Amino acid sequence: MSQPVFGFLAFTSGSYEGAIIRDMRLANALHARGYKVVIYWMMDRNPDLVSPGIIQRTLCRGSRYQFKKPCGVMDKLSAPFFAIPANMRRTFMQRHPDYLDRLMTNLTRSICDGGRSDLKLARRLASFIRSDGVTHLLPTFAMICPFAQAAKNLPSAPNFDYLVTFQGEEIFANYAQRLGRLDEYHARLRECVAASPWPAVAVSRDYIDRLHDEMGIDPNRLRAIYPGIDLVYPVDGKPALYTHLDGTPYADLRLRKPED
């Protein structure tokens, strides 16, 4: 049997969200064990989280969701913005929450429409997967799995499967609720869980209960796996920071007070 190749469909604002730290730690650990690992970034990138030697590709930029329908032109035109240093991009997004809200609302609209609502994105993802030989795709959030399923359903699609992971999905459900499409959002998630050959992952047993009660996810199709993000205290005894596996704090991450 050939060795698996792991692809991470990495959804991030370019910051240090717990979900992306969890996924990149897993990617780095698999790479350290000799597996081929590839990162496909969605919305933004955070290459500082990734070990040297891991292939990184940009699947799409957040500006793709500038309008109600996904726009590849805006995706391409925004490339110079993403050449700006990451800390400046993060500051811009934090100071313009209305713009971030627009992107997330339009992305959620596309998810509710199903992965086939953005076939160009699905084709690009399928092309990456075929080129890199990915056999196991791990999307950061369950809510982006419809794009993975759309890639699988394409004619002459590459042979791969994806693992559904639930972590913070109710945050995105808020956007669907505001659109009046919460039932459709839940339906897309249930479809993705049913289509995957593996049980979906939730970050705790309590979360499995919530997913069942709020989204109608079959608990028999879910497994609880601890996310594995430890807060390591630096030697000087200050409050904990997210760190690399060896305990070294991330270079651009620092504690901030509300007034900062």
**pLDDT digit string, tens, across residues 133-170:** 999 999 999 999 999 999 999 998 999 999 999 988 88
Do 216 and 237 belong together in one domain?
no
Do 132 and 19 belong together in one domain?
yes
pTM over 0.75: yes
| Higher pLDDT, residue 217 or 240 | 217
Rg (C-alpha) for the chain, rounded Å, is: 18
Mean pLDDT (whole number) for 157-185: 93
Do 160 and 49 belong together in one domain?
yes
For the stretch 20-27, contacts whose Cβ atoms lie closer than 8 Å and that sit 24 or more positions apart, written own/partner, are 20/46, 20/49, 20/140, 21/49, 21/229, 21/242, 22/167, 22/227, 22/228, 22/229, 23/138, 23/140, 24/49, 24/50, 25/228, 25/229, 25/245, 26/138, 26/228, 27/51, 27/54
Do 259 and 147 belong together in one domain?
no
Do 76 and 194 belong together in one domain?
yes
Per-residue pLDDT tens over the stretch 10-34: 999 888 788 898 899 999 999 999 9
Number of compact structural domains in the chain:
2
Do 244 and 148 belong together in one domain?
no
Do 41 and 74 belong together in one domain?
yes
| Higher pLDDT, residue 242 or 248 | 248
Do 244 and 208 belong together in one domain?
no
Do 140 and 97 belong together in one domain?
yes
Adjacent-strand bridge partners of 66: none
Residue 243: give the domain boundaries: 232-260
CATH of residue 139's domain is 3.40.50.2000
Do 74 and 23 belong together in one domain?
yes
Do 260 and 195 belong together in one domain?
no
Rounded CA-CA distance 213/224 in Å is 16
Helix (H) or strand (E) holding 122: helix 119-132
Do 18 and 135 belong together in one domain?
yes
Rounded CA-CA distance 231/133 in Å is 34
